[in-house]
């Protein structure tokens, strides 16, 4: 296939809500059948090149990444402003993954209204778009290692979609893995139909 996807699944959620875990579940289930697009990937790659950081470590949910997070966020916001394109890194991420070769796209880390708005544009009017918010209580997030960090957890990258209400699905991720998979069955069905 070459062109636009038939299905776009967009995941959003705060740090330690489980969006990376949901991404992994979907990616493993449909290995090599869909394009997994991390908007943060080109950000982390370019930041690593410019600042001597380890790109592979920045891509993991690790303490290493956390020590660079604030500076990386500031740098990426400046880059987008300088280019006058809110979707700059999203477009790079789509190209990095050769996404136009796949029928189904999984956007793993939408954080801002512009990330969602990009898929409302005319070029995607033939695609079905499913917007999913993964959420967990602060207690659950703390049990996964989350600690509130000023200028990170109160920044646009974490709060930009807090007031957004037009989600197709909101999945609470405070329970077990089996409970989460049960909730995701509705998404699995739609992926299988699109493939």
Instruction: Give me the pLDDT at residue 184, please.
Output: 97
What CATH number does domain 7-194 carry, 3.40.50.300, 3.10.580.10, 3.40.720.10, 3.40.190.10? Answer: 3.40.50.300
133 strand-pairing partners: 12, 170
pLDDT band for 82, please (50, 70, 90 cuts). Answer: low
- Assess whether pLDDT exceeds 90 at residue 131: yes
In the 8-state DSSP scheme, what is residue 35? E
Asked if residue 1 has pLDDT above 70, the reply is no
Distance from C-alpha of 59 to C-alpha of 64, rounded to nearest angstrom: 10
Q: Give the C-alpha distances (Å, rounded to integers) separating 78 from 39, 72, 88, 181.
A: 16, 10, 11, 38
Instruction: Name the average pLDDT for the chain.
Output: 91
Q: What's the pLDDT tens digit per position in 133-146?
A: 999 999 999 999 99
Domain spans in the chain, listed from the N-terminal domain onward:
7-194
Q: Which token pair is 57?
A: 């470590």
Summarised one tens digit per residue, pLDDT across range 58-78 is 888 778 888 888 888 888 888
For residue range 151-193, what is the model confidence (pLDDT) as tens digits?
A: 888 888 889 999 999 999 999 999 999 999 999 999 999 999 9
Q: How many CB atoms lie within 10 A of CB 98?
A: 10
């Amino acid at each position: 296939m070459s062109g636009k996807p038939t299905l776009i699944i967009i995941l959003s959620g705060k740090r330690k809500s489980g969006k990376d875990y949901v991404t992994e579940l979907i990616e493993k289930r449909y290995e090599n059948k869909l394009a997994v697009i991390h908007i943060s990937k080109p950000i982390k790659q370019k930041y690593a090149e410019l600042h001597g950081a380890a790109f592979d470590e920045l891509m993991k949910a690790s303490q290493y990444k956390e020590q660079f997070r604030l500076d990386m966020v500031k740098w990426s916001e400046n880059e987008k402003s300088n280019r006058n394109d809110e979707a700059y890194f999203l477009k790079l991420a789509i190209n990095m993954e050769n996404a136009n070769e796949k029928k189904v796209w999984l956007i793993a880390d939408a954080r801002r209204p512009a990330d969602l708005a990009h898929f409302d544009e005319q070029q995607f009017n033939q695609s079905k778009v499913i917007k999913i918010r993964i959420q967990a209580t602060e207690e659950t997030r703390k049990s996964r290692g989350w600690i509130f960090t000023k200028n990170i957890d109160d920044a646009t990258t974490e709060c930009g979609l807090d007031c957004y209400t037009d989600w197709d699905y909101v999945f609470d991720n405070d329970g077990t893995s089996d409970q989460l998979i049960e909730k995701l069955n509705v998404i699995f069905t739609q992926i299988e139909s699109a493939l």
